[in-house]
Amino acid sequence: MWLSSKVRNGDGLVMECPICKLANACLAGTPNVSSCWCMNKQFDEWVLSQIPEQYKHKACICEACYVKYSEMLQKPQR
């Protein structure tokens, strides 16, 4: 469980993307949450639904995933 070992809620320095598990400098869950990049982004509902319930409002997905899914959603799926 990455949550127990790597994420130290409160200092916001070590966070992982809930989807790709790569380092993600999300500030959700810290006093600086309002300056996190994700606060300026609109996440599609489908993207949000990919985040496991226990990580919601704790960490945003990383910017790479955000870009990846945004592009995916713009193209019709075949």
Position 38 contacts Zn ion (CB under 5 A):
yes
Least Å from the CB of residue 33 to Zn ion:
7
Euclidean distance between CA atoms 31 and 43, whole angstroms: 21
Euclidean distance between CA atoms 67 and 78, whole angstroms: 19
Three-class SS of residue 22? coil
Among 7, 12, 16, 19, binds Zn ion (CB under 5 A): 19
Least Å from the CB of residue 57 to Zn ion:
10
Binding site for Zn ion (CB under 5 A): 17, 19-20, 26, 28, 36, 38, 60-62, 65
